[in-house]
Structure 1
Amino acid sequence: MGVVRDREHSDGAPTIEGTGIRVEDIASAYEHSGYSPDEITQLYPDLSLGDVHRALAYYYDHIDDFRTSSSEPASA
């Protein structure tokens, strides 16, 4: 599986293909909550360890995009 963007799911946010699990959620679990990649697979049983590492690699390769989008005000 890879990382995909689909406007019909998760508002176009990058997700792990076939799961709908957002890259941002995986990165947050890793960076902010302190979960290890192995623990993240327990939080999200649909993900393999490879999926978690792919998501984290995608996140760090596009970190400026994630930081920009998270700092934008939500539209009403």
Structure 2
Amino acid sequence: MSIVRDPDHSDGAPTIEGTGIRVKDIASAYEHSGYEPDEITQLYPDLSLGDVHRALAYYYDHIDDFRSAESARA
């Protein structure tokens, strides 16, 4: 699966294709809640370990965009 943006779902936030699971939710589970990637697959059974790593790679490749979006909401 890949990372997609669909303005009709999740307010256009990047999601894992076919799941509706937002990249920022995966990143939050990893960074803020301390879950390891294999544990995240238990939180989101529709995801493979590769999906989690792709989401985290996308997050870190676009971290400035994620951070500016969060600060705009605050």
TM bracket, shorter-chain basis: over 0.9
* Structure richer in helix, relative to its length: 2
Matched, 1:8 2:11: no
Partner residue in 1 for 2:40: 40
Query: How far does residue 73 in structure 1 lie from its aligned partner after superposition?
Result: 2.8
Number of equivalent positions? 74
- For 2:63 and 2:31, the matched residues in 1 are separated by 12
Partner residue in 1 for 2:67: 67
Q: Which 4+ runs in 1 deviate beyond 4 A?
A: none
- For 2:73 and 2:64, the matched residues in 1 are separated by 16
Secondary structure, in 3 states, of the residue corresponding to 1:19? coil
Matched, 1:49 2:49: yes
Provide the aligned C-alpha RMSD in A.
0.8
Structure 2 letter corresponding to 1:9: H
- Structure 2 segments unaligned to the other structure (5+ residues): none
- For 1:50 and 1:73, the matched residues in 2 are separated by 30
Provide the identity percentage.
85
